[in-house]
Structures are given as structure tokens and as C-alpha cells.
Amino acid sequence: MELRDLHSLIGISETGSLSGAARKLNLTQPALSASLKRLEGELGVLLVRRHSRGAQLTEEGKYVLQKAYDIVRDVAEVTSVVDSLSEEPIGLVRVGLPTTIAAGLIPEFFPLLRSQFPKIRLNIVEAMSGRLGELLQLGELDLALMFDIQPMSGLRSEPVLSEKLCLFVPKDHPFADKKGVRLDEITRLNLVLPSPSNFIRKHINDACESEGLSLNVVADIDSFSGLVSLVKGGHCTILPTYLALQHANESRIVALDFIRPELEWTVHLASRHDATRPRASLVTGQLLMEVCRNLVREGTWPGEIVNRA
């Protein structure tokens, strides 16, 4: 099926005659008739019925007409996006970063973006991952790094890297000298965790549910710095490793791997299908993923690179 044949059907519908459609489309009438005949032959139905006053679409023709409008519109949108992709990246790109990685990633990412794409203006929003998902769906972000996301309407995602979640305890805690910890060993600890809407908490809750366990959570804290400060003050928490391990190396905090079961998740780059600046959003997302993967290669971000299969 050719696009020009669909245009012929649309022209006949809008002008009410084959001669009128031929003039509108700058075709000879025999060429337009051949286009219509080709479309009818391919579909196996009569689409247009001619009469003394011109031409009228059959019921089958009216159905195909609506589909033709959809196809022509979609092709026009694709053409517009491709045209914009050929342009120099320019304009505002809004990027969401989880609080567990933002402070370490921004100084690595921003200078590179500025040097490679100086006409892109960056707006970075730092929030817990659950909130970032809401902002993406509301159209208030173009891109976001998120963890183990579920399919969401209007969004696409690509895996970037996988990392462990660890139990963080004070250095004087009874667990501090352990090589690792089982999930069932922490059920009596006084834990401070992100709120249930956060992806970290959901991941932990899913792991506990699969093991038939429940945790003693004494406070819901949607603040990375707040959680770290509480661990320094004597509480325990569960966090991904990137920035939290830096705090563990610099202060009175110990990070313990989970050994049964292991807790890990995948960092994804999520983006909107309908980005208003597709070229700028595309290169920003690609650079963001490359910076994350370079941090893994350098050993700064403990984890493993994940490539789309």
C-alpha cells in the first residue's frame, strides 16, 4: 500500500469528485483513477462509487478514509521529528535524578554536556524516584534516571547499570563486624527507610514479601542526607551503594551486603515519547548513560553495566 494512494482517497473525499481530487493533487485524472483502482484492488473492496454529480465513498471507503487520515498524520509527525533530529541540539531539557545519586552525578555530567552541547539548557530536578516517575508522566520532565521501573504509558526506558542495595549501620553496631547479612536477620532492627511510594522501599518490600518477612520501620524518610545522618546517629537503613558507600568510607558508617537473598536492582533511563525537543533530549540521555557507565568502569560507582539485549 502506497501513501500516494491514500492521499488520492482523501482527495476524492474532500472534493467530492475524481476530477476535483486530480486538480487538488496535481495529477491527471487517469493517474488518479489508476491510484484508486490500485488501492481498491489491494484491499479487495469498492471504496468509491461514481455518480452523475461526482463520487461518493462507500461505507468501506469511509472506514479506510479514517485510517488513511491517521496514517498520513503519523507520517507527518515522523517527518517533523526526523527534521528536528538533523538540527543542532538546542533548548531546554529537564532531567530528573534520584537523591541517592544526584550529588555525585551532577558534577560529572554537567561540564561534559556544556562542552559538547553548549546550546542545551539543563534543568535538573532532584527527588526520590517515585516522585520522578510522577513528574515524567505529568510531562514536567523529559528524562529521568530511575530504578526497576514498571512500564508506564507514554514512556520508554533503557537499562543502564545494576547495583546492590546494602544495609548501612553505625560502626559500633553489633552487626558492624559481619561479612554479610541475611534479610531475616534485620527484622528486629529499628529501620529508617524511604516512604512506601519510593522505588527503594517498594523493592525492599517485594523482597521481604517473597521471603515471608516484615521489617520494623520506625520512620519514613524521603531524604538521602537525612537517612545518612540518622545512621550516623545510631539507626539503620537500606540504600543503593553509589553515594552511600562514599559516606561509609568517610564517616562512622558500615555497609553490609545482603547474602540471602542478594538485593540488587537496575538503573534505567526513562524518557517521554513526545519530547518537544527530541534532538536535545536524545543526546542528553545518551551522554547521561555514558557518564553513568564510565563511573562503573572507573570503579567509582559499584555495579555492572547493563546493555539492552
pLDDT tens, N- to C-terminus, the chain (309 residues): 788 899 999 999 989 999 999 998 988 999 989 999 999 999 999 999 988 888 999 999 999 998 888 888 777 666 655 545 546 788 899 999 998 899 999 999 999 999 999 999 999 999 988 788 888 888 899 999 988 776 666 778 899 999 999 999 999 999 999 989 999 999 999 999 999 888 888 889 999 999 999 999 999 998 888 998 999 889 999 998 888 777 776 678 898 999 988 888 889 999 887 766 788 899 999 999 999 999 999 999 999 999 765
* Domain boundaries defined on the chain: 3-85, 91-160+266-305, 162-265
Query: In the CATH hierarchy, which fold is given to the domain comprising 3-85?
Result: Arc Repressor Mutant, subunit A (1.10.10)
Angle of helix 3-15 relative to helix 59-85, nearest 10 degrees, comes to 120
Which overall architecture, per CATH, does domain 162-265 show?
3-Layer(aba) Sandwich (3.40)
Which overall architecture, per CATH, does domain 91-160+266-305 show?
3-Layer(aba) Sandwich (3.40)
CA triple 256-180-130, angle to 5 deg = 45
Alpha helices for the chain (secondary structure H)? 3-15, 18-24, 29-43, 59-85, 102-116, 129-137, 199-211, 224-232, 242-250, 278-298
Topology alike, domains 3-85 and 162-265? no
State how far the Cα of 66 lies from the Cα of 74, in Å rounded to an integer: 13
Kindly compute the dihedral angle of the four CA atoms of residues 89, 94, 98, 104, in this order, to the nearest 10 degrees: 50
